[in-house]
């Protein structure tokens, strides 16, 4: 038993913030941001939430799949920026779209969140536990940014993407659905990209005994990043895990029609293409228009490609995510 993606959907806030707008907030320039990242503009929430963006993306994916919310078995939302700790964003989505019989939970793997959610849904469906799933990447990263820190606030945007996946009983030939997957984590390097939540707090904690008390870098309510370390990690790990996934699938770089990578930075994507000796035209990008939306980048790009008719039945795709954790992964799928 394998899976097929039968619907995709996405939702972005209407508010467009250009590099020129950013230059009114922090000391930066369109030239600096474009050269270093490839980003020209991003969408920033004017009230949209992780749950509201996710729900809209799910409705669009269901509409494309020709399914109703009451038929959904499982909802997994990959997010690192939910508004609420409780209830989880997936349960909010369930209530919002009326998916009464679904099991719903969030998955926290930052920019790899959608890919890990896809692989989790695949595992449930392949095991025969559920017949279908809505998988989502949704982020409102603008609330995790220090808007006075030019080294991070220019990089990120808000948005959501979703896919509806269904059991494909015919696809047990190893030639369609998910052909291979590779996932990894490197927690020892986790603090190169971090964001604090609430610290341990109870009547028994002494002020000077807080676990993250000492280094400002270690505990901040905003995203902190060592950009160069993230760059090194991504440019090494992404091509490595893509190669591993291709080897497992007994395919080569040339066999792949599209490499749908997490949209963090154009230089990371170009470096990955170079290391793989792959044609850069096979690496679609949209980060110039919408920036880095963490878990949402892969499903939003997938939805854009799908709706533009750029993915055809039988096409071989590599999806690859990488980000905070550190986490990374690649899956080879046949559309
Ligand atoms: N505008 C103008 N100048 C800036 C800005 C800005 N927005 N941000 C930083 N600078 C300045 C710095 O202050 C520094 O100035 P100084 O030399 O006077 O001290 C100078 O530019 C160089 O700063 P670096 O941090 O060394 O810049 P770098 O060349 O490393 O570029 C970047 C930063 C683009 C983030 C780079 O490290 C990179 O590409 N990293 C990859 C990580 C990434 O893309 N992360 C995205 C999110 S994580 C993820 O999705 C997995």
Residue closest to 132 by CA, chosen among 162, 94, 100, 165 = 165
- Please give the DSSP secondary-structure letter assigned to residue 294: G
Tell me the CA–centroid distance for residue 227 and ligand 1, in Å: 6
User: How high is the mean pLDDT of the chain?
Assistant: 94
Tell me the CA–centroid distance for residue 228 and ligand 1, in Å: 8
Q: Are 162 and 8 within 8 A, CB to CB?
A: yes
Strands 74-78 and 132-140: parallel
Neighbours of 5 (CB within 10 A): 24
pLDDT of residue 313: 92
**Ligand 1, atom 29: closest residue by C-alpha:** 36
Over the stretch 107-118, which tens digit does the pLDDT of each residue have?
999 999 999 999
pLDDT of residue 220: 83
Over the stretch 314-325, which tens digit does the pLDDT of each residue have?
999 999 999 999
Q: 177-191+220-334 belongs to which homologous superfamily?
A: Thiolase/Chalcone synthase (3.40.47.10)
pLDDT of residue 258: 98
**Ligand 1, atom 3: closest residue by C-alpha:** 28
pLDDT of residue 202: 86
pLDDT of residue 214: 56
Atom number, ligand 1, closest to the C-alpha of residue 33: 7
pLDDT over threshold 80, residue 212: no
pLDDT of residue 262: 97
Beta bridge partners of 41: 18
pLDDT over threshold 60, residue 216: no
pLDDT of residue 169: 76
Tokens of 120: 């989790």
CA distance 323 to 235: 12
Torsional sign, CA 59, 8, 42, 186: positive
CA distance 234 to 210: 32
Calculate helix-pair angle for 297-307, 50-65, nearest 10 degrees: 30
pLDDT of residue 213: 61
Helix, strand, coil percentages (3-state) for the chain, rounded to 5, are 40, 25, 35
Positions annotated as catalytic residues are: 111, 262, 292
Tell me the CA–centroid distance for residue 150 and ligand 1, in Å: 8
2-171: CATH number: 3.40.47.10
**Ligand 1, atom 21: closest residue by C-alpha:** 151
Q: Are 187 and 25 within 8 A, CB to CB?
A: no
Over the stretch 159-181, which tens digit does the pLDDT of each residue have?
999 999 999 876 666 677 899 99
Give residues (CB < 6 A) around ligand 1.
28, 32-33, 36-37, 111, 150-151, 154-155, 193, 227-228, 230-231, 264-265, 267, 292, 322-323
pLDDT of residue 241: 97
H/E stretch holding 53 reads helix 50-65
Give the burial class of 65: count Cβ atoms within 10 A of its Cβ; 0-12 exposed, 13-18 middle, 19 or more buried: buried
Domain spans in the chain, listed from the N-terminal domain onward? 2-171, 177-191+220-334
Q: Are 44 and 171 within 8 A, CB to CB?
A: no
Q: SS3 for 4?
A: strand
Tell me the CA–centroid distance for residue 232 and ligand 1, in Å: 13
pLDDT of residue 172: 61
**Ligand 1, atom 50: closest residue by C-alpha:** 264
* Common-topology check for domains 2-171 and 177-191+220-334: yes
């Amino acid at each position: 038993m394998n899976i097929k993606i039968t619907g995709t959907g996405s939702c972005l806030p209407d508010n467009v913030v250009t590099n020129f707008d950013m230059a009114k907030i922090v000391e930066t320039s369109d030239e600096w941001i474009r050269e270093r990242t490839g980003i020209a503009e991003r969408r920033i929430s004017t009230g949209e939430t992780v749950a509201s963006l996710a729900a809209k993306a799910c409705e669009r994916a269901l509409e494309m799949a020709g399914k109703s919310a009451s038929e959904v078995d499982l909802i997994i939302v990959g997010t690192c920026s939910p508004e609420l700790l409780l209830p989880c964003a997936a349960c909010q989505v369930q209530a919002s779209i009326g998916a009464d019989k679904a099991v719903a939970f969030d998955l926290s793997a930052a920019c790899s969140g959608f890919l890990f959610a896809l692989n989790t849904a695949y595992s449930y469906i392949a095991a025969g536990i559920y017949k279908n799933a809505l998988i989502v990447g949704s982020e409102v990263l603008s609330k995790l940014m220090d808007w006075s820190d030019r080294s991070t606030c220019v990089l990120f945007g808000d948005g959501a993407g979703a896919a509806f996946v269904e059991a494909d009983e015919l696809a047990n030939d190893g030639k369609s659905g998910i052909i291979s997957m590779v996932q990894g984590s490197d927690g020892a390097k986790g603090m190169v990209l971090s964001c604090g939540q609430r610290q341990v707090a109870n009547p028994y904690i002494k002020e000077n005994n807080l676990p993250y008390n000492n280094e400002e870098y270690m505990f901040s309510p905003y995203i902190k990043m060592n950009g160069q370390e993230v760059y090194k990690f991504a440019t090494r790990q992404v091509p490595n895990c893509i190669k591993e996934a291709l080897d497992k699938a007994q395919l080569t770089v040339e066999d792949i029609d599209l490499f749908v990578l997490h949209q963090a930075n154009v230089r990371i994507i170009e470096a990955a293409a170079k290391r793989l000796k792959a044609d850069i035209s096979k690496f679609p990008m949209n980060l110039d228009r919408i920036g880095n939306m963490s878990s949402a980048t892969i499903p939003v790009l997938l939805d854009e490609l799908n709706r533009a008719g750029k993915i055809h039945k039988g096409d071989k795709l590599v999806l690859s995510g990488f980000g905070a954790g550190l986490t990374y992964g690649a899956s080879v799928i046949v559309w």
